[in-house]
Chains A and B, each alone.
Chain A
Amino acid sequence: MNKNLYQPINSEIVDIIDESPTIKSFVVVPEEEFKFETGQFVELTLPGEGEAPFTPSSSPTVTDKMDITIMKAGRVTALLHDCQKGQKVGIRGPYGRGYPVNDYVGKDVYIVGGGVGLAPIRSLFLTLVDRIQDFKSVVCRFGARTPADFIYKNTLFDSWQKIDGVDIKLTVDQADGQWKDNVGVVTTVLSPDDVDIQNSVAVVCGPPIMMKFATLKLLEFGFADKQIYLSMEKNMSCGIGKCGHCMLGQYYVCKDGPVFTYDQIKRYPNIWD
Chain B
Amino acid sequence: MKVFFISQIRPLLDAMAGQMDVYVPKKANSHYVFERYDPDSENDVVFNNIRACTPVKEFLFPLRELAAVFPEPLEPKDIKPFAIIGLKDCDLRSIEILDKVFTEKEFEDPFYIRRREKMFIISSDCYEPAESCFCNVMGGHPFVQSGFDLNVSQVGDGFIIEAGSQKGEDFIKKHSQLFGPADQSQLDERDRKRAEAQQQLEHNNADMKFGVPVHEIVENSHDSEVYDQEATTCVECQACTRVCPTCHCFYLYDTKQKDYFGKMKMWDSCMRLAYAQVAGGENPRKVLGDRLRHRFMHKFSYFLDRYGIDMCVGCGRCVDAEAGDVDIRVVLKKLNEELQGKGKEKEKVAK
Contacts and interface: CB of A to CB of B under 8 A. Distances in A.
Interface of A: 1-8, 10, 45-52, 73-77, 88, 90, 207-208, 233-235, 237-238, 240-250, 255, 267, 269-271, 273
A45 B253 CA distance: 10
B256 interface: yes
A273 B74 contact: no
Contacts of B294: 247
Interface in B193-251: 222, 248-251
A74 B280 contact: yes
B345 interface: no
B107 A242 contact: yes
Contacts of A3: 108, 110
Contacts of B265: 6
B305 A250 contact: yes
Interface stretch (B34-42, B64-72, B158-166): B64-72
A10 B250 contact: no
Contacts of A48: 254-256, 261
A249 B254 contact: no
Given A1-B76, A5-B107, A235-B276, A243 B70 contact: no
A4 B254 contact: no
Given A1-B114, A2-B113, A234-B278, A243 B252 contact: yes
A2 B249 CA distance: 21
Given A2-B113, A243-B250, A244-B249, A52 B279 contact: yes
B254 A49 contact: yes
Given A7-B73, A10-B71, A51-B263, A242 B254 contact: no
A10 B70 CA distance: 8
A248 B302 CA distance: 10
A269 B254 CA distance: 32
Interface string B260-276: 01010100101000011
A240 B253 CA distance: 16
Contacts of A244: 248-250, 268, 270, 275, 298
Interface stretch (B25-33, B149-157, B176-184, B281-289): B281-289
A1 B67 CA distance: 13
B254 A47 contact: yes
Contacts of A255: 107
B253 A6 contact: no
B102 interface: yes
B305 A6 contact: no
B101 interface: yes
B277 interface: yes
A4 B278 contact: no
B306 interface: yes
A3 B114 CA distance: 12
18 contacts: A2-B108, A5-B107, A5-B108, A5-B110, A8-B70, A45-B263, A46-B254, A52-B279, A74-B280, A90-B70, A241-B107, A244-B248, A244-B268, A244-B270, A244-B275, A247-B270, A247-B302, A270-B284
Given A7-B67, A48-B256, 7 more contacts: A1-B76, A6-B252, A47-B71, A73-B278, A243-B252, A249-B297, A255-B107
A238 B70 contact: no
Contacts of B276: 234-235, 245-247
B301 interface: yes
B57 to A, nearest CB: 13
B230 to A, nearest CB: 17
Contacts of B249: 243-245
A2 B103 CA distance: 10
A56 B209 CA distance: 52
Nearest to A4: B110
A238 B302 CA distance: 19
Nearest to A74: B279
Interface string B295-336: 001100110011000000000000000000000000000000
* List of 9 A-B pairs having minimum Cβ-Cβ separation, nearest first: A74-B279, A48-B256, A244-B249, A47-B261, A250-B302, A6-B67, A73-B279, A2-B110, A270-B284
Given A5-B107, A6-B68, A48-B261, A242 B252 contact: no
